Structure formats: C-alpha cells, structure tokens
Amino acid sequence: MKEKIIYGIFTKPIHVEKIVNYLNQYTDISYVISTRKDEIHSLKFDVGISYCFPHIININHPIEDVRTWYNYHPAPLPEYPGIYNYAEAIKNKVTEYGVTLHRMTMKVDGGNIIEQKRFNLYTAPTSVNELGCLTHYFLFQLFKETINTLGVG
C-alpha cells in the first residue's frame, strides 16, 4: 500500500485555483496550500513544494517532520536561475526554453534536477508576458506529471 504523504504547496495566489482544482480530482493526494511565507512553519506537511513561490524558502531552518523540498521553476536550469529569467532569455533571443523540477538545497535553484520539460519557441519571444504564458502552461503540465511521485520511496 502506498504511503500517505501530505504535500505543503507554496505558490502565488494566481496559481492556487488551478492547483486545487487539479489535486481535488484525486482522493489519494493530501495537501495544504498557502501563498504566505509566514505559514511555512505553522502548517503540517511531509514534503514541501515551491510552485513559482515568490519568496526564498530557507530549508536550513528546520521544519518539524518535513522530509524534503522541491521547486517547480519556470525556466530551464542551470541556464536561468533566479527570478529574472524571462528578461534574460528575451535578451538572449532564445528559441528554446523550458521548465524544471528540482530538489531544493541551500543554494537557490541549485539542487539536483528531477525532471525538465524543454520546448521550441520557433521565434524569439519579445515580451515577458509572451514567454511567461508559454512557460506557465508547460510548468503546470510538469506539475501534473510529477506531483504523485515526489517524496515517495
């Protein structure tokens, strides 16, 4: 029998509805979700997930019972770490981009890559909105493909 894991998902308000709607389709996925950094230490969960969360989570500050942390990063790593990745990619006139799921470490966006989705842009994007829309589509696909496997085993 599969072990019951509670995911603690931290994200921006704009992503809450789609994440909740997706996860509520499954009776075997338990989670708490928050948009607030101050709730990281008050919620009970086994595996932490940062999904485009706009705050750095200090994983060195122990949180009782949290086994590990994962980050859904809206850019290909290691090429585009941090929060200004869209602007940098536009400046570089990229025609391929991607999204990354990685294990979190002390170094921001520096943990082992679990899964990556790369996609062709065909022409270089000219705005943050253009690249952001494409990226968030693929990031949510990556989330749906991997959420059931995190922290298992």
Q: Is residue 79 part of a domain?
A: yes
Q: List, edge to edge, every strand of the sheet that includes 30-34.
A: 30-34, 6-11, 47-51, 68-73, 96-103, 113-120
The answer to the question of residue 48 being in a domain is yes
37, part of any domain: yes
Q: Do the Cβ atoms of 126 and 90 come closer than 8 Å?
A: yes
- pTM value is 0.91
* Domain annotation covers residue 105: yes
Token pair listed for 15: 């992503």
Residue 91 lies in a domain: yes
Position 58 in a domain: yes
12: CATH: 3.40.50.170
Outline where the chain has alpha helix (H): 13-23, 85-91, 128-146
In a domain, 30, yes or no: yes
**Is 1 within the bounds of a domain?**
no
Domain residue limits at 91 = 6-149
Number of domains in the chain: 1
Q: Which residues are CB-contacts of 31 (< 8 A; sequence separation ≥ 6)?
A: 6, 7, 8, 9, 23, 45
Look-up: residue for tokens 């599969």? 2
pLDDT in tens, the chain (153 residues): 456 889 999 999 999 999 999 999 988 889 999 999 999 888 889 899 999 999 888 776 656 677 889 999 999 999 999 887 899 999 999 999 999 999 988 888 888 999 999 999 999 999 999 999 999 999 999 999 999 888 765
Residue 110: predicted pLDDT = 84
